[in-house]
Chains A and B, each alone.
Chain A
Amino acid sequence: MSALAQWEERITDFDQIYAEALADAKTQPEALFKKAYEGAVIATSYAEILLNRAIRQYGRQKEIGYPDTAYHLPVILALSGEKVTTLEELIPILNRVRSQVKERYSFDQARLCGEATLYAAEIIEVLHYLDQDEPKPSPWTGFISDPDVRRYGIKLVDWTIPGQAVILGRAKTSEDAAKLVSELMSKGMMIFLSDEIIEQLLEQDMKIGTDYICFPLGNFTQVIHAVNYALRAGVMFGGIPGGERHNQRDYQHRRVRAFVLQLGEFDQVKVAAHMGAVFLGFPVITDQELAEEIPDWYVSHTNYDDLIKFAMELRGIKVTSVDIPIPLNFGPAFEGETIRRADVAVEFGGGRSQSFEVVRMVGIDEVEDEKVEVIGPDIDEFEEGDAVPLGIMVDIYGRKMQEDFESVLERRIHYFVNFAEGLWHVAQRDLAWIRVSKEAKAKGFQFRHFGDILIAKLKSEFPAIVDRVQVRIITDPAVVEENLAVARKIYLKRDDRLRGLTDDAVEDFYSCILCQSFAPNHVCVVTPERVGLCGAVSWLDGKASYEINPSGPNPPIPKGRCLDEERGIWESVDEYVYTTSNRSVDGVCLYTLMEKPMTSCGCFEAIMAIVPEANGIMISTRESSKLMTPVGMTFSTLAGVVGGGNQTPGFMGIGRTYVVSRKFIKADGGIARIIWMPKELKEFLRQDFVERSIEEGLGEDFIDKIADEDVGTEVEEILAFLEEKEHPCFTLDPLM
C-alpha cells in the first residue's frame, strides 16, 4: 500500500464530525496546522531519542508498564490494540505514528499529528516510569491506577460527574485558578490538571488530589494521564476491544464529555497535544487570543467570568445545579475529603457521643415545608474538638412517597452531607458519625445548614416522591435520647419488612442500565437479594428510582415464568437482557457463577473467581486492589477479565453485600464455596457473615476457616490451611 493510501486510511468515517467546522477550503487556519505539525515532529523525535536510548541502556526485552493497570499502555492498547510489555515492541508502533506526521497543513492531517503526539507522550511517560526519574510525591498523581479509574465509575455513569475538564497551563492569577476550579467542582466535574495550575491551586490551599476527583497529573507530557484515563473508560466500561480506533473515538466523543482548557501561553508541542484532544472528539478552549480558530473545536474565550459555562456549553454538558444556601463549597469533589481529628470543630457519634439519623414518611399535616429547627445548642456554643450528641430527623410528605423509600432516602444523607466541603459523614442510622471541620466553622457553618443541605438535595433529586420536607437537628442530650428511641423503633420495623423482601416474595425485579452511558452492552438485574454490582443500587433503590422516573435507568422486569429456580433463570429476565444488551448477551443465570453469569460494567466492588484446585471460589475487592490473589492475578488484572459487558463463566463482578445474601451463588453451594477473601472484606462483613454461616449450618467459626492474605496467596499454602481447618469445600460437588 502506498504511503498516501495508508495515510488516507487513517482518516475514517468518524472524522465526518469535523466536516462542518472548516467547510470553506479558502479559509483554513494553516499557521495553526503548521504548528501542530511541528509540535508533532518535536514530540515524536523526542520520544524516539528517549526510546532508543532506553533500549541501548536496558536491552530490547526490558519490561515496561504503568503501575497497577491491566491495560498496558492504555493509549496504545485502546487505539491500536498492541498489548505492549517490552521496549522493543514500541519501535514499530512509534515508527508507524511517525510516518503519519506529514508536512501537509490540513485539519485532517493536524488531527493525525495530534494522535501521533498522544502516542509520543505515552511512550515518553512510560519511559519516565522505567527510569523512575520523575517521582510523583503526593498530591501529584502521575499515572492514575485502574482502581482509581473504577472508583469514580458509578459517578461517571450516573452523571453525578457530568464531564471532565482537562486544564493545562497557568491562569492569569492564582485566585482566578481557584475560582475556575471551584466552579468546576461545584458543577461536579472531574478535573485533570497539568502544569502551573497545580501550584496555583496549592498556593490557594485548594483541596486537590485523587480524593477530590481533581487529579494533579504533573507537567508537560504527563497530561497524557488524562487521556489514558479516558481511553481506559472506553475499554473498561464500554467493552470496546483494544484497537477499535474508530469505535473508541466514537465512544470518547459521545460518552466521555471532556474538554480541554488551555490557560496561558502555549507552544507548538501543546498545539499538537490539543489536536490530539480534538482527534478524540474533545474541544479545546483557551484564554489566549487566537489568530485562527476552528469553530466548535479550537476556540478562544478570554473572559474568566463565564469561561466554565462557555466550555461546558461547547461540550454540550448541561448541569441543573441547585443553589444551597450554605457557606460551604458543595459537590461530589468533596465526598472523599477526610477531616483529621486535629481539624475537628465538633463531632457527633463515632463512639464519643450518641448520634442518629432517620427519615420518616409523614402525613401532609405533620410537616411544615422547608422548616429547619435546631433543638439545643449550636456550633458556637461548643469547645473545639467537642463530641456532641446529635439527632437528624427528616420528615417527608409526598403523594407518591412510600414507607419503602424511607431507607433509600435516609442513605442519601450520607452523600449529601459529605458533598459539603468541611463536613464528613460515615455509617448510618444510630451509628452515624459526623465531623465538622474548623475550616467550615470559620466559614460560618451552623447546624441549621445540615437541614438546608438535606431539604435542597432531597427536593431536587427526588421531586417525584418528595413534596414537603422538614428537618430537625437535635443537640440537646435529653431530646436526642428521647427521639433515639423513636428512631430505633422505625429501624426495627424496617428490618422486619426487609426480611420479608425476598426474591421469591416480590412480583418484579428491577434492572439497572445506568451504566449503559459508559458500558452500552451491560445490564444489571437487581433483586431484593442481589444488590447491584456497584453496591450502590439495591432493589429498593431501583423501585424508588422507577417511581421517580418511569422512563429512567431502572425499568422493572416482571418475574413471570421461572425456567430454573436453582440457577435463577427467568424467561422475562433473559428476554429483557437480550434486548437491552443490544443482543450481545442472550441470558443470565442469577444464582450461579458457572453458567451465563451476570455481566459487569466495570464498577464492581468485588470480583469472585473460581479456584479449581480448592473446588471453591475466592473474592477480591477494590480496596485490596494491589493484593495478589490465589488465582495469580491482582484485582486490577482480574477486573480486566470481567469488565466491559462480557460473560466469563467462573469470574464475576459483584457488590460486597451480595456475599451475605441467601441467594449468593446458591446453585454453586453458596458461601460454603468461599475459600479465600481479603481480611478487609472479612471484617466488613463479619457480623452478617457469621449469622449466615450459622444459618447455613457451617458453624459460627466458618469465617475463620476461610483463608486470607495472612495465610497466603499461593494455592498450595491455602490448600494446606483449608485441609487443616476442615473447610467444607472438599466435600462439595465438583465445581467443574
Chain B
Amino acid sequence: MPRYRQTTVGDLKNQAVQRRKITDTKRTADPATMEVLCGELPEGNTTVFDRYASQQPQCSFGLTGVCCRNCIQGPCRITPKNDKGICGAADYTIVARNVARLIAGGTSCHSTHGYHIAETVLKVVDGKTSDYSIKDPEKLHAVCKRLGVSTEGKNDEELAREVTLLAFEDFGGHREEPCRWLDTTITQGRREKFRNCNIAPTSIDRTVVGMLDQTAMGQDSDPVNIIFGGLKTALCDYTGMHIATDLQDILFGTPYPVATEANLGVIDADYVNIATHGHNPTLSEMIVEAALQLKGEAEAAGAKGVKVVGICCTGNELIMRQGVALAANKASQEMAVLTGAVDAMIVDVQCIMPATKALAECFHTQFITTASQVKIPGAQHFDFREEDALETAKTMVRMGIEAYGKRKPELIRIPDVKHAAVAGWSTEALMKLFAGVEPEEPVKALNDAILAGELSGVALFAGCNNLRVTQDESHLSIVKELLKENVLVVATGCSAGAFAKAGLLTPGAYREYGGEGLQRFLDRVHEASPTSTGLPAVFHQGSCVDNTRAADLMVAMAEQLGVDTPKVPFVASAPEAMHEKAVSIGSWCVALGMPVHVGVMPPVEGSPLVYSIVTQVAHDVYGGHFILESDAELAAKQLLDALEYRRWKLDVHRATAEKYDADPAASW
C-alpha cells in the first residue's frame, strides 16, 4: 500500500450505508438544473431526484456487495450470523464476483461501441455507405505506425481496412499475443507487469465471456483470482475504447480546440431544438449534418433554423469535434425535456433513462430511439444503419421540425444559464499546445514543469452523475481545490460536462481557478503556441469512451521521464461514478498504475479482503489503487497527497541514482 506523507488512507470506513432518509429532492449544484427543479412538474411525474429519495433506504446487502444473485437458489446475503451463502461462498467471493461482473458489463458497453465504429469504417471502405468518409488520414497513419502496419503504397481505404481487421482480431480473434490496442499503447513496464500477472487479454469477447463463466455458480471462489480476472476484463475495456477513439478520430477527425457554450441556456426557443443523447458519434454526426441540410425546412416551419444540442456523452462527442453546444450531463437529461423547448430527443446507447421518455410524453417532444439494443416501450424507434444514415437522420430531424409547431408556449421555461466553453483537447491537441515550448518532445514541457515544482501533477476527472450525492458538487469542489494547487486537469464524460456547465471550460478560466504555477505554465505554453480559442481551466478530452486519451498522455509522460506509469504524478478521480463503465474504467486505470479516487462507495465494503486489495494491496502489485472517499474535501487532499507521494519518490529516486551513479529505482 502507498503511505502518503499525511496518512489518511486508513482502514475500512463503511461509508456506503447511509440510513438517513433523503427528503431533499433538489440536490444539485447546477443552477440551471435547480431552476428547472424548482418549477412545476407535469402531474404524476417525477425526476431522477425524486426517485432516488423514494428508493431510500436502499438494501444494505446490495450496497456493500454481499448480496449474491448468481444462481436461483439465491439471493444469498452475508450477515454476521450467516457468513456463507448456500453454496458456501464467503463475503470475499461474493463481493469480488459482483464487482467483476460490473466490469464485464462496462467492458461490454465500450467494446460494443468500439465494434460498431469498426463496422462503420469497414462499411465506408467497402463502399456500403457514402454518408461517412475518412476525415483524418493523418491519424490513420499514426495508428498504422503504432500498430506496425506498413503504409507504403497503400491508400487510405486499404490502410483503414487493415486497421479495422486488426481491431476485429482484438475483439474476437483467436491469438496467443495480447490485444494489439493494449500492447502497443502502454509502456514496456506495463506490458511485462500484465504478462507476469497473467492479466493481458488476447481477445475482448473471449475475456468477457470468460469472466461471466468464472463468476458463475460453482466456479471461481478465489477472490484474488477473480479480481485479476476482473482486471483482465477491464483491460479489454481499455482496448475496446481505445479502438473506438482511434477509429472515431479517423472517421470524424481528431478533435482540436473549438469554442462553444454549455448548460440548459443553450436551448434556444427560436430554433427547432434537437437534443442528441447517448454516446455514439455515428448517429450524432449525421444529425448535425441533417440539421444543416434541413435549415430551410425549419425556417419554413417558422423557426430560425435547427439547433442541435448535446446531452451526456453524445454532447461530449459533439462539443469536441463540432463545437455543438452541450445542454446537460446525465442527471440533467430530464431537465432538457422540462424546458419545454426540445422538439426531438434522439438517443442511441448508454445512460438513457426510460424516465426521460415518460417525461417527454407530457410535452410535444418526440422521443426517438435508434439502437437495436436500446428500445423503450412507447418511444418511436428507427433502426439506424450506416447504409442510409443521413436519410434516417433527416427523417428524425424532420419529426422535430414538425413537433416545433406543437410546442406549448406556457410550458417553456429555459433557464438563462450558459457558459462559453473551449473543448477539443485531444492528446494530440495538448501536444500541439506543448510543442510551442518543446517542439521536439512536447510532453517534456509538462514533465519539466512538474519536476520544477511549477505543476503538482496531472489529474483526469471522469465518470458520471450519481444521485447519491448532490449533482456536480463534488466534481466542482475537488477540481477547484486541485486547480488551486497547480494540478493540470483533463476531463471526460459527465465530469467534463459538469465543468463545461459551470464555466470551467470558459476561455481564460484558468486565471480564475488556477494556482500561480498553473497560470504561469499555461501562459507560457499558450504564448509559444497560441490558439484562437484561448485556454480553459480544465481540458476537455471527450466522452467516457475517450478515457484512453488521458492514458496516452500518462504513457507519454512516463516514456519521457524514463519510468513506468506508476511513478508518473498522475491521478484520476470519478467523484460520481455510477455506471458499470465507470467501474471498468477505474479498474484499468488502477492496473495502469493510477491512484483512482471514487467519490461514491462502490459495493466492496462487505468484504474487508476485497476492500484491502483494491485500496491498498493493488498499489504493491500494480502501482495504482482506489481511493474510496465520499468527503470531497478529504478526497481532494488525498489526491494531492497521492501526487505529492509520487513527486517525492520520483525526486528521491532521481537524486539517489545520481548519487550512486546507478539506474533510477524501478520500484514505485
- Residues of chain A whose beta carbon lies under 8 Å from any beta carbon of chain B: 34-35, 38, 41-42, 45-46, 48-50, 52-54, 57, 103, 127, 131, 133-135, 137-140, 169-170, 195-196, 199, 202-203, 218-221, 264-270
Check if A268 sits within 8 Å of B608, measured CB to CB. yes
Check if A267 sits within 8 Å of B616, measured CB to CB. yes
* Chain B residue contacts of A138, Cβ below 8 A: 660-662
* Chain B residue contacts of A134, Cβ below 8 A: 666-667
Interface assignment of B197: CB less than 8 Å from any CB of chain A = yes
- What 5 A-B pairs are tightest by C-beta distance, nearest first? A45-B224, A267-B616, A170-B3, A137-B662, A220-B620
Check if A267 sits within 8 Å of B1, measured CB to CB. yes
Check if A269 sits within 8 Å of B620, measured CB to CB. yes
Check if A137 sits within 8 Å of B3, measured CB to CB. no
Check if A268 sits within 8 Å of B7, measured CB to CB. no
Check if A202 sits within 8 Å of B608, measured CB to CB. no
Interface assignment of B665: CB less than 8 Å from any CB of chain A = yes
* Chain A residue contacts of B617, Cβ below 8 A: 42, 267-269
Which listed residue (A45, A103, A131, A219) contacts B667, Cβ 8 A?
A219
Interface assignment of B225: CB less than 8 Å from any CB of chain A = yes
Check if B656 sits within 8 Å of A202, measured CB to CB. yes
* Chain B residue contacts of A41, Cβ below 8 A: 92, 222-224, 609
Number of cross-chain contacts by CB at 8 Å: 109
Instruction: From A49, A52, A169, A218, name the one whose CB has the most chain B CB atoms within 10 angstroms.
Output: A49
- Contact flag A50-B657 (CB < 8 Å), given A38-B609, A41-B224, A45-B223: no
Within the assembled complex, what's the spacing in Å between the Cα atoms of A169 and B3?
A: 7
Check if B657 sits within 8 Å of A137, measured CB to CB. yes
Check if A199 sits within 8 Å of B197, measured CB to CB. no
Check if B621 sits within 8 Å of A264, measured CB to CB. no
- Contact flag A139-B1 (CB < 8 Å), given A49-B197, A219-B620, A269-B617: no
Check if A42 sits within 8 Å of B192, measured CB to CB. no
Chain B minimum-CB-distance residue to A221: B620
Check if B225 sits within 8 Å of A195, measured CB to CB. no
Chain B minimum-CB-distance residue to A47: B224
**How close is B384's CB to chain A, nearest CB, in angstroms?**
43
| Interface flags, B622-653, vs A, CB<8A=1, else 0 | 00000000000000000000000000110011
Interface assignment of B55: CB less than 8 Å from any CB of chain A = no
**How close is B62's CB to chain A, nearest CB, in angstroms?**
22
Q: Which of B464-500 contact A (CB under 8 A)?
A: none
The interface size bin for chain B is 35 or more
- Contact flag A49-B228 (CB < 8 Å), given A137-B662, A139-B656: yes
Check if B609 sits within 8 Å of A196, measured CB to CB. no
**How close is B608's CB to chain A, nearest CB, in angstroms?**
7
Besides A268-B616, A270-B1, 19 new A-B residue pairs in contact (Cβ under 8 A), listed by A number: A38-B609, A42-B224, A46-B621, A50-B198, A57-B195, A131-B196, A133-B193, A133-B196, A138-B662, A170-B7, A196-B649, A219-B620, A219-B667, A220-B621, A265-B3, A265-B7, A265-B11, A267-B1, A268-B617
Check if B92 sits within 8 Å of A38, measured CB to CB. yes
Please, could you name 25 A-B residue pairs with CB atoms under 8 Å apart, sorted by A? A35-B608, A38-B92, A41-B92, A41-B223, A41-B609, A42-B617, A46-B621, A50-B197, A53-B195, A53-B198, A57-B195, A133-B192, A135-B666, A137-B665, A169-B3, A196-B649, A199-B649, A199-B653, A203-B648, A219-B620, A220-B621, A221-B620, A265-B11, A268-B608, A269-B617
* Chain B residue contacts of A57, Cβ below 8 A: 195
Check if B652 sits within 8 Å of A202, measured CB to CB. yes
Chain A minimum-CB-distance residue to B649: A199
**How close is B348's CB to chain A, nearest CB, in angstroms?**
39
Within the assembled complex, what's the spacing in Å between the Cα atoms of A146 and B195?
A: 31
Check if A53 sits within 8 Å of B196, measured CB to CB. yes
Within the assembled complex, what's the spacing in Å between the Cα atoms of A221 and B649?
A: 19
Check if B192 sits within 8 Å of A135, measured CB to CB. no
- Contact flag A50-B196 (CB < 8 Å), given A137-B657, A266-B1: yes
Interface assignment of B664: CB less than 8 Å from any CB of chain A = yes
Q: Which of B90-114 contact A (CB under 8 A)?
A: 90, 92
Within the assembled complex, what's the spacing in Å between the Cα atoms of A562 and B330?
A: 99
Within the assembled complex, what's the spacing in Å between the Cα atoms of A169 and B619?
A: 14
**How close is B193's CB to chain A, nearest CB, in angstroms?**
7
Within the assembled complex, what's the spacing in Å between the Cα atoms of A684 and B660?
A: 28
Interface assignment of B655: CB less than 8 Å from any CB of chain A = yes
Interface assignment of B409: CB less than 8 Å from any CB of chain A = no
* Chain A residue contacts of B67, Cβ below 8 A: none
Interface assignment of B28: CB less than 8 Å from any CB of chain A = no
Interface assignment of B421: CB less than 8 Å from any CB of chain A = no
**How close is A46's CB to chain B, nearest CB, in angstroms?**
6
* Chain A residue contacts of B662, Cβ below 8 A: 137-139
| Interface flags, B2-18, vs A, CB<8A=1, else 0 | 01000101110000000
**How close is A324's CB to chain B, nearest CB, in angstroms?**
28
Instruction: From B223, B224, B653, B661, name the one whose CB has the most chain A CB atoms within 10 angstroms.
Output: B224
Instruction: From A137, A264, A266, name the one whose CB has the most chain B CB atoms within 10 angstroms.
Output: A137
Within the assembled complex, what's the spacing in Å between the Cα atoms of A134 and B623?
A: 13
Check if B652 sits within 8 Å of A199, measured CB to CB. yes
Interface assignment of B40: CB less than 8 Å from any CB of chain A = no
Chain B minimum-CB-distance residue to A170: B3
Within the assembled complex, what's the spacing in Å between the Cα atoms of A195 and B668?
A: 9
Check if A267 sits within 8 Å of B612, measured CB to CB. yes
Which listed residue (B224, B608, B652, B661) contacts A49, Cβ 8 A?
B224
